[in-house]
Amino acid sequence: MKKAIFILLIVCLIVGASSCEKKEPPKATLLLKKADYFYEKGDLKKAIFLYKQLMEAFPDTKSGKVAAENYIRYSEMLNAEIEANKKINFDRTKSLARAVELYYRDHRKYPDSVDDLIPDYIPKRVTDVWGNPIIYKKLSKGYIVACFGKDGIIGGKDEDTDFFIQDGEIVTIPNIK
């Protein structure tokens, strides 16, 4: 019996460990196909979620190993995309605030609305990368320019990061007077 086990071990070493791995579970293959589908459709968040599930549930399978590689690669891609979108949104928020400041310089008052800035200071309404409007609000003394991120509501992180410029200053939380 010991001799048979020893021979089997030698055969596994010679042929390669991959041929001695457990049979690929159908659920692992299905999860990998599903994750790949969402990646191909451009839904990185859903693909990453499925790759993580797969690599945790089936770490020693071929699908689990592929999922682990894809999870790392696509997570880095998603983070880079989020950071790029945040930068674009911040730059667009600053450009609207700059237009407000130029309007003030020329008129010695803040515009009543974004429409007062078109076309002399900005060509059209400013939006974030998802098409949500970047908001301008005239206050009794000063103004606020705000971008509310992908979700379009106050608060959030990553894609939902908010940006505020009040009276020419970048602020974390605006002081509405």
d(CA 11, CA 26): 26
Instruction: Provide φ and ψ at 136, rounded to 5°.
Output: -120, 135
Domain segments of the chain: what residues?
A: 24-81, 83-171
Q: What is the pLDDT of residue 11?
A: 53
pLDDT per residue as tens digits for the range 57-70: 999 999 999 999 99
Strands 163-166 and 169-171, by their bridges, are antiparallel
- Helices 62-107 and 44-57 cross at an angle (nearest 10°) of 150
pLDDT for 22 beyond 80 = no
3-state secondary structure of 155: coil
Domain 83-171 has CATH 3.30.700.10: yes
pLDDT for 13 beyond 80 = no
Please state, as a whole number, how many other Cβ atoms lie within 10 Å of the Cβ of residue 165: 24
pLDDT for 163 beyond 70 = yes
**What's the Cα-to-Cα distance from 159 to each of 58, 78, 156, rounded to whole Å?**
30, 10, 8
pLDDT band at 176 (very low <50, low <70, confident <90, very high): confident
- β-strand partners of 143: 138
pLDDT for 17 beyond 80 = no
d(CA 156, CA 28): 34
**What's the Cα-to-Cα distance from 20 to each of 3, 29, 60, 70, 159, rounded to whole Å?**
18, 18, 12, 24, 44
